[in-house]
Chains A and B, each alone.
Chain A
Amino acid sequence: MKTRSWILIFAVLLAVCSVLTAILFARRPSGTVANIYRDGVCVYSVDLSAVEEPFEFTLTDERGSNTVRVERGRIRVTDADCPDRVCVSAGWVGENGSAPVVCLPHRLVIRVEKSAKADGGIDAVAR
């Protein structure tokens, strides 16, 4: 094989790699997104910046249920049948960098996340 073909193959692979990277980055949503995790696995995502009408839904599994309310730019747990209801008293979370809402008994976590962290973004919240 000649050097030229060698370079060609390498160039093609390089192009494929860059295209893949571009696709991976482009797929990330741009607004403020609330991701709901159960046992560490994201089970539900809401684009908070695209919410027109407020809505509620209930997440239930064998451990119990949590009722979640979504409004433009913010999200909270409004009701839950866990004993301590820490998730309900956590209140609204909205801006990127707020502490997550956690329901330990139900292994539920709601995080507000942004794909591209703006300058001055927060890395963690001590609470």
Chain B
Amino acid sequence: MKVGSRLSAVVLAALLLLSSCRTAGPQTAAIFAMDTVMDFTVYGGAQTLADAEARVRELETLFSVTSEESELSALNRSGGGTVSAETAALIPAALALCERTGGALDITVYPVVRAWGFTAGEHRVPSGEELAALSAAVDYRGVSVKGNAVTLAQGAEIDLGGVAKGYTADRLTEQLRAAGVESALLNLGGNVQAIGKKPNGDDWRVAIRDPQSESNVAVLAVSNRAVVTSGGYERFFERDGVTYHHIIDPATGCPAKSGLLSVTVVAESGLLADALSTALYVMGLDRAAEHWRAYRDFEAVFVDENGTIFLTEGLQSRFTPVSRGAAVEVIRL
């Protein structure tokens, strides 16, 4: 071997050493998408992260209800039409969850949400007559899907905001796993998806935000699970001393008053966790507990108006309250 090639071999070895210093850590990205900030931490190559970001952009252009150019906006304007395979897969899945929750989740509640100004941020309190007129068109059973053809009932519009991030998290999880990623944490604006465990073998530690303060109420240790919280404490407005939050009860057309401040759902499927966190918040503690007993395919943490924390028994070993003084009750079968 010549001196030159030896030297270059040494340099190459050193470069490899340097680059291995780099890739030992995770790849991270913060992305503005789907009306929120997403934080991705992926233990794997840079390309897997770039592919994940591209997938988010692709799904966003399909599902966004506030973007005029999205496929969903076109569907809402025309009342029916042919949609992409992705949208044609999500809508029936979302409808099944509307059915499962007895309409506590309803993807056709969008015109009511818009009347309250929660879509554009220009908040107002609609009159009783206005709500009654809009609520008449709210019924997920009026949406029919045949293949890629979707038809909406007269005056109905759909919003996939309550399920799109969960669905996206599931698709990203599939994509990352297929690319060989064994450890990643995806935070889609508070919808957390834990893939595998941390590289050191520990569970991911996901905190639940305290709805009454700026700190956290508890920490959940999870792996291969979605953790999604719904609460009325982040998006709300005040008029004449009354607080109106953004989770609309499809039955009343008004912000849900169920006695709960937040609901956190832990499930394997991000879509299920996303949909149920909203639906269980609307249902209230008693109906939510019954739903858990009937299905057992998820676990949940509830914070009620007194600040009491309720958790389903499957989470007991994974749950650590942040404050020792907090009242904690276990929901059993």
Which residues in A have some Cβ–Cβ distance to B below 8 Å? 1, 6, 9-10, 13-14, 17, 20-21, 37, 39-40, 82-84, 86, 89-95, 97-100, 102, 104-105, 107, 109, 120-127
In the bound complex, do residue B219 and residue A122 qualify as a contact, i.e. CB atoms below 8 Å apart? yes
Q: Bound state CA distance, A83 and B47, in angstroms?
A: 37
Q: Is B23 an interface residue (CB 8 A)?
A: no
CB distance from A127 to the nearest CB of B (A): 4
Given contacts A17-B18, A127-B190, contact A90 B214 (CB under 8 A): yes
The segment out of B28-36, B99-107, B131-139, B290-298 that lies at the interface is: B28-36
Q: Bound state CA distance, A42 and B237, in angstroms?
A: 30
Chain B stretch 149-166: residues in CB contact (< 8 A) with chain A: none
In the bound complex, do residue A124 and residue B207 qualify as a contact, i.e. CB atoms below 8 Å apart? yes
- A93-B214, A124-B187 given; name 14 further pairs at CB < 8 Å: A13-B17, A20-B18, A40-B30, A84-B123, A84-B235, A89-B234, A97-B216, A98-B214, A104-B37, A107-B32, A124-B204, A125-B192, A126-B227, A126-B264
The segment out of B2-10, B310-318, B323-331 that lies at the interface is: B2-10
In the bound complex, do residue B190 and residue A126 qualify as a contact, i.e. CB atoms below 8 Å apart? yes
**In this complex, what residue of A is CB-closest to B213?**
A91
In the bound complex, do residue B36 and residue A104 qualify as a contact, i.e. CB atoms below 8 Å apart? yes
In the bound complex, do residue B37 and residue A21 qualify as a contact, i.e. CB atoms below 8 Å apart? no
Q: Bound state CA distance, A10 and B15, in angstroms?
A: 11
Q: Bound state CA distance, A89 and B234, in angstroms?
A: 7
Q: Fill in one digit per residue for B151-190: 1 if any A CB lies within 8 Å of its CB, else 0.
A: 0000000000000000000000000000000000101011
Chain B stretch 192-227: residues in CB contact (< 8 A) with chain A: 192, 198, 204-209, 213-216, 219-220, 227
In the bound complex, do residue A125 and residue B21 qualify as a contact, i.e. CB atoms below 8 Å apart? no
In the bound complex, do residue B30 and residue A109 qualify as a contact, i.e. CB atoms below 8 Å apart? yes
- Give every chain A residue within 8 A of B39 (Cβ-Cβ): 124
Q: Bound state CA distance, A109 and B187, in angstroms?
A: 14
In the bound complex, do residue B205 and residue A86 qualify as a contact, i.e. CB atoms below 8 Å apart? no
Q: Is B253 an interface residue (CB 8 A)?
A: no
**In this complex, what residue of A is CB-closest to B226?**
A126
Q: Bound state CA distance, A82 and B204, in angstroms?
A: 34
Which residues in B have some Cβ–Cβ distance to A below 8 Å? 3, 6-7, 10-11, 13-14, 17-18, 21, 30-32, 35-37, 39, 41, 120-123, 185, 187, 189-192, 198, 204-209, 213-216, 219-220, 227-229, 231, 234-237, 264
In the bound complex, do residue A37 and residue B32 qualify as a contact, i.e. CB atoms below 8 Å apart? no
In the bound complex, do residue B35 and residue A86 qualify as a contact, i.e. CB atoms below 8 Å apart? no
Query: Which of A20, A93, A97: most chain B CB closer than 10 A?
Result: A97
Given contacts A37-B30, A84-B235, contact A125 B207 (CB under 8 A): yes
Q: Bound state CA distance, A94 and B215, in angstroms?
A: 9
In the bound complex, do residue B234 and residue A126 qualify as a contact, i.e. CB atoms below 8 Å apart? no
In the bound complex, do residue B228 and residue A126 qualify as a contact, i.e. CB atoms below 8 Å apart? yes
Q: Bound state CA distance, A98 and B228, in angstroms?
A: 16
In the bound complex, do residue A100 and residue B37 qualify as a contact, i.e. CB atoms below 8 Å apart? yes
Q: Bound state CA distance, A94 and B216, in angstroms?
A: 11
In the bound complex, do residue B7 and residue A9 qualify as a contact, i.e. CB atoms below 8 Å apart? yes
> Could you say which of A14, A93, A97 contacts B207, with CB atoms under 8 Å apart?
A97
In the bound complex, do residue B235 and residue A126 qualify as a contact, i.e. CB atoms below 8 Å apart? no
CB distance from A8 to the nearest CB of B (A): 10
